[in-house]
Amino acid sequence: VALYDTVNPFSEDTAFYLALAAEQPGSAVIDVGCGTGALACALARRGHRVTGVDPSLAMLDRARHRLDGASVEWIHGGADQLLDVGADLALMTGHVAQVIGDDAEWLRTLVGVHGALRDGGRLAFECRNPDGQPWQAWTPERSRRQVDDDAVGAVDVWAEVVDVQAGRVRFEYHNRIVATGEELISLNELRFRTEQELTMQLHDVGFRLDGVFGDWDLRPVDPQSPELIFVATRR
């Protein structure tokens, strides 16, 4: 948790979601799986009314203690905790949709988000595109990079796949603090759902699909696209 923001800094995805929210100045935005709260706070600074929801107390604690953490309403739990929010926009960023591996929980999340939006409110999220098999690059050799953390200095980070099964990839994420040699390893599982699966689920829950994009420059999806970026409207 302490290294999360260093390893996952703002990037093109953040710009995309901030621009989407900016289409409606002052709008009410829900950040589902808000993590350490960087995006939620950035939205609040831009004048949005923001609710951040996450089941991880460690992540939420980090979020609450950000410099402008008091400007966001933080909720502990999943999207089913979002009652009568009437939001204009719901976001799920940083591949939260893939972290929610259990299919029943994923559907409950979509239903919860749908219920928390006003009619005409929008949902946007991204998943990595399974067609490109991005996990092939999650080897120590291909994924190793170094990041610089304010608190502990240089950190070597890399991913290593443990297991690939239909639609699920388990991998270790290694963080080695160069100065001390200390290594922190997290074991993660990501669910890879197809564009067709996600499109059907959104429709079944009551969303109209506005678009699916293959990358942050909004190009269409093709088999090599890194992402499946969904934007949908509550019917």
- Long-range contacts of 145-151, Cβ-Cβ distance < 8 Å, separation of 24 or more: 146/178, 147/3, 147/6, 147/7, 148/6, 149/3, 149/6, 150/6, 151/2
Q: How far is the CB of 109 from ligand SAM (least distance, A)?
A: 6
- Strands 49-54 and 28-32, sheet pairing: parallel
Residues 211-230 that bind ligand SAM (CB under 6 A): none
Nearest C-alpha neighbor of 109 from the set 170, 49, 191: 191
Nearest C-alpha neighbor of 13 from the set 218, 189, 221, 222: 218
Q: How far is the CB of 144 from ligand SAM (least distance, A)?
A: 20
**Alpha carbons 93 and 81: distance in angstroms, whole number:** 18
- Per-residue binding letters, 156-185, with ligand SAM (x by CB under 6 A): ------------------------------
Q: How far is the CB of 35 from ligand SAM (least distance, A)?
A: 3
227 strand-pairing partners: 128
Q: Which is nearer to ligand SAM, 145 or 181 (CB)?
A: 145
Q: Which is nearer to ligand SAM, 8 or 178 (CB)?
A: 8
- Residue choice 34, 42, 75, 113 for contact with ligand SAM (CB under 6 A): 34
- Strands 145-149 and 153-165, sheet pairing: antiparallel
- Residue choice 3, 21, 30, 32 for contact with ligand SAM (CB under 6 A): 32
DSSP state letters, 67-96: TTGGGSEEEES-GGG--S--EEEEEE-TTH
Tokens of 28: 């009410």
Of the candidate spans 52-60, 132-140, 176-184, 219-227, the one that interacts with ligand SAM by CB under 6 A turns out to be 52-60
Q: How far is the CB of 148 from ligand SAM (least distance, A)?
A: 18
The site for ligand SAM, by CB under 6 A, has a size of: 20
Q: How far is the CB of 180 from ligand SAM (least distance, A)?
A: 25
Residues 55-114 that bind ligand SAM (CB under 6 A): 55-56, 59, 78-79, 93-96, 99-100, 105, 109
Q: Under the rule (CB under 6 A), what is the footprint of ligand SAM?
A: 8, 32-35, 39, 54-56, 59, 78-79, 93-96, 99-100, 105, 109
